[in-house]
Structure 1
């Protein structure tokens, strides 16, 4: 398999141009601007990177630098709910001010238009939350509703319908067709758009109410243990604008944790694609696939990295898309003032918005850049007990079960001229950032880009052991169905089926050690 060149901007603006010897050859896209911000690795550095990112040869002691999963950006592990809200440890005093201003915008409560607080108006008219912080609770992960009276502020449903044969193709669909990708194509729902909003400003009905029911499933484990999983069924009740489109596909999404995003963005694309094996040419049962998305920021196809199906290529793109879809706030990347409202929702389109006068969009370039900087620099806490014998035993089980085949422990980031916080760091995110078939149990049956209805991006594991400390719960996976780390493992299927079965069958002390290892991350 060949790799891809990194182009132009080191802020993760990496075009996905690669050839799979088993499937297709992609046309080469030339860089759109000089590559001025990345210092290329020397041969000696490349050899050094290969050594430090190699798999461990033993499990008797922690590896060098394992206690600092974000390299020099790692911060002390706090024992309170602010553990995920600290700036990179290697940030300068001047840039820490930018971080704090970005934090203010991240927490800012937006209000409807017209309003006397003109710098904060533009909410909705349809929305899921009034601020970024309302979904990403304390910069951690969200949760499903706890009962019928709990508003699903940190969870919503994405929605799409199958593309008709005569639909005009988008830029990314044209590109994917050109390189031979045959993933099913979809369109936003003609009435409800790309995601369903469960709130509306005065005079605008919400689009729906999220309904969830659970069925319990018993899973026998070794040594006489029995685990219980809850299998969810989702529905969109109280539809405010008529029926869903024909063939509508709904996919639940919980807001993910925010830490370490800038470091994930700084991983060389070629290093990510090294593990891509969409046709399982090596026969190991793992067939990671790279997501390809269209970058509105750079106007070209790029490697997807962020979101549950890797639907966003950069932190700025992800931030702007969330402003538009979740809060209804326009930005220089997504300038529609009505957010996700469709032509069928005419009242929403003609409602007052926060642009106009001197404001071209409801959040301007400077504001979006500050939120992006804040999101890039939310620090990863230090490991806890990485040298504890039970943790080391659990680490050995993690590798023996095959978990590391997708949850790649280590990378080294690019040398970045203008991002010293993320530059040339050995990081331990435990993800390959690729799409994997996770089986029928986790399938949402909704394609997104190159991802089919069974495929999800490997979730990073750093910080996962501090979820309860930060967010006050232990709900995991894309929809929060898992109530513990063990339940999350037991939902794995597809490419992860063998690893799941290994965990089920391993002696209880080894299984307990594996969970202890995950809790130390």
Structure 2
């Protein structure tokens, strides 16, 4: 359906990093796609191995990611917003390519969060079944003449967790409520899952981890009832079922599909992979709203092979995919610090590393040659794990249950608050600190949480210091 695009690069034997600084091999989180930057732009750096020609492709993708889009009646390149949408740019939910955050209460805006929706049953190709009136996510806004679908807001329940030494932590659990629903009540059977914007750097390296590696991780013997399994999902490009690795439930097969779904679902921008507007059957005004194509806005005839008949041209779409593939991963920091070393030992002793696997190697024949055969340190197994009822959203997706989540990569997590001071942790941003995130772990991760609970204050400080070094 789509051409297999290959890029060829000069791969230097010596890694050249931002500022020409050299760093220890053990800190190279992204292999040769590691950046030494620790600035507020640390998550926005191109891989050092991109040559000058393909750096221009990266720059085009970056401009698409940062672009503020406008409605389809305009006549410039950044046209096609809506008819219904959440935000006007990708960067709005992924501040400086980092993680988003949840609003602090009912008056707060879901600036970097969206609400997934589904109803009981099986959707197309085995995924979650979209709500018949509102689709698979709530779009707050509409272009002129098209009502936004409604507004979601959060009200928190709080409880106190007490650690072994008497320290207390306030944990908050979000409850989703709605107002101004444009197409009637959601119904008693609706399943709602709030999700903050995830990190977008390092995705090309995760894409380059082989299926065989994930299956081997699935088969490994694990302690304390930890299991871990792949999700089998629909690959829209290959038109078959494959192992999923993207999305918070590993419910998306490929990086192009992840990018395309975000464009059409969050912005209402059609792409070569998602050519239809995100209007449901009952949304009459949405379906009647004007839609354009990249060819039209360039003054070319419909069907032009170079630009495509969708609002995001084929070239700009694949440039955006390339941008995601080639964002560098920040190097680890303070690896020789005694407290960090001790924290790493405690990370292993608490069995955190069983799911947050420190090292993986990419396949030898990755889509982009320079990402092949790289030793990377993402701290994830990309598998589904049962995290218990406290973190459950009750919403299954392909083979993932309502209590299962994909292990999120931890690389760069120590810079999260530097990039976005309001950054949240866990799928819905409920955790404001890394310790809060740990204390929400349940299910397969409950024994690890209890080990952390029993630590001394000095041990917990070392563990957190280690996490901040990743």
When normalised by structure 2's length, the TM-score is 0.90
Distance (whole Å) between structure 2 residues aligned to residue 405 and residue 157 of structure 1: 30
Q: Which residue of 2 aligns with 1:410?
A: 359
- Aligned residue number for residue 342 of structure 1: 280
Q: Secondary structure at the match of 1:514?
A: helix
**2:222, 2:366 → 1: CA distance?**
37
Residue 295 of structure 1 corresponds to 235
C-alpha separation between the residues in 2 aligned to 1:281 and 1:476? 28
Q: Does the 8 Å CA contact 1:190/1:245 hold for their aligned counterparts?
A: no
Which secondary structure state, in structure 2, belongs to the residue aligned with residue 101 of structure 1?
helix
Given that 2:292 and 2:310 are in contact with CA atoms closer than 8 Å, whether structure 1 keeps it comes out as yes
Aligned equivalents of 1:360, 1:281: Cα separation in 2: 50
Match of 1:510 in 2: 459
CA distance 1:464–1:516, change in 2 (3 Å):
same
**2:60 aligned to 91, 101, 104, which one?**
101
Q: CA deviation at 1:69?
A: 0.7
Aligned to 1:447: 396
> What is the SS of the residue equivalent to 2:401?
coil
CA distance in 2, matches of 1:417, 1:241: 45
Backbone CA RMSD of aligned residues = 2.1
Gaps of 5+ in 2: 8-22, 303-307
In the TM superposition, what is the alpha-carbon distance from 1:237 to its structure 2 partner? 2.0
Separation in 2, partners of 1:285, 1:123: 47
Find the aligned partners of 2:236 and 2:190 in 1 and give their Cα distance. 26
Whether the 8 Å CA contact 1:324–1:330 is kept in 2: the answer is: yes
Task: Map Cα deviations across residues 436-467 of structure 1 (whole Å, 9 max, x no partner).
Answer: 00011100011111111100000000000000
Matched with 2:427 is: 478
Q: Deviations over 1:472-509 (max 9, x none)?
A: 22411111100100000000000000000000001111
**Partner of residue 51, structure 2:** 92
Match of residue 72, structure 1, among 32, 48, 52: 32
Question: For 1:332, which of 272, 282, 288 is the aligned residue?
Answer: 272
2:71 corresponds to 1:112: yes
1:360 corresponds, among 297, 309, 318, to 309
Relative distance call for 1:251 and 1:397 in structure 2 (3 A) is: same
Match of 2:132 in 1: 190
Cα shift at 1:116: 2.7
CA distance in 2, matches of 1:282, 1:109: 46
Q: Any idea what SS the aligned residue of 1:202 has?
A: coil
The range that moved more, 426-435 or 69-78, is: 69-78
- CA-to-aligned-CA distance 1:389-409 (integer Å, 9 cap, x gap): 100100000000010110011
The match for 2:158 among 216, 220, 228 is: 216
Match of 1:23 in 2: none
TM-score by length of 1: 0.81
Shift of 1:186: 4.1
Deviation at 1:78, TM superposition (A): 2.3
Partner SS, residue 81 of structure 2:
coil
Paired residue secondary structure (1:416): coil
> Is residue 232 from structure 1 mapped to residue 174 from structure 2 by the alignment?
yes
**Aligned equivalents of 1:282 and 1:382: distance in 2?**
29
User: In the aligned structure 2, how far is the partner of 1:310 from the partner of 1:201?
Assistant: 32
Q: 2:409 matched to 1:464?
A: no
SS in 1 for 2:405: strand
Partners in 2 of 1:283 and 1:154 — Cα distance? 36
Q: Measured at CA, do residues 299 and 243 of structure 1 come closer, stay the same or move farther in structure 2, by a change above 3 Å? A: same
Distance in 2 of aligned mates of 1:351 and 1:85: 35
8 Å CA contact 1:191, 1:245 repeated in 2: no
**Corresponding residue for 1:382?**
331
For the 8 Å contact 1:208–1:238, the answer to whether it is kept is: yes
SS state of the match for residue 259, structure 2?
helix
CA contact (8 A) 2:106 2:155 kept: no
Superposed displacement of residue 149, structure 1: 4.7
CA distance, structure 1, for counterparts of residue 332 and residue 422 of structure 2: 20
The Cα shift of 1:64 comes to: 7.4
Query: Offset of 1:369 from its aligned partner?
Result: 0.3
Q: Distance in 1 between matches of 2:44 and 2:68?
A: 18
| Post-superposition offset of 1:317 | 0.8
CA shift for structure 1 position 108: 1.1
Structure 1 residue 151: Cα displacement: 2.6
Quick check: 1:140 aligned with 2:106? Answer: no
Structure 1, unaligned runs of 5 or more = 1-8, 12-35, 38-62, 174-184
- The 8 Å contact of residues 161 and 246 in structure 1, kept in 2 or not, is answered as no
Query: Cα distance 1:199–1:65, how it changes in 2: closer, same or farther (>3 A)?
Result: same
CA deviation after TM superposition for structure 1 residue 224, in Å: 2.0
1:243 match: secondary structure? coil
Seen in structure 2, the aligned counterparts of structure 1 residues 295 and 418 have a Cα distance that, compared at 3 Å, is closer
- Rounded Cα–Cα distance in structure 2 between residues aligned with 1:418 and 1:227: 45
* Whole-Å separation in 2 of the counterparts to 1:285 and 1:255: 30
Residue pair 1:391, 1:513 contacting (<8 A) in 2 also: yes
Tell me which stretches of 4 or more aligned residues in structure 1 moved more than 3 Å. Answer: 146-150, 280-284
Matched with 2:11 is none
Cα pair distance change 1:418/1:241, threshold 3 Å: closer
CA distance in 1, matches of 2:404, 2:191: 15
Give the superposition deviation at 1:153: 2.3
2:439 to 490, 499, 502: 490
- 2:216 is matched with which residue: 259, 274, 290? 274
- Structure 2 distance, partners of 1:489, 1:273, is 26
The answer to which of 146-155 and 92-101 deviates more is: 146-155
SS at match of 2:389: coil
2:193 is equivalent to residue 265 of structure 1: no
| Number of aligned residues | 442
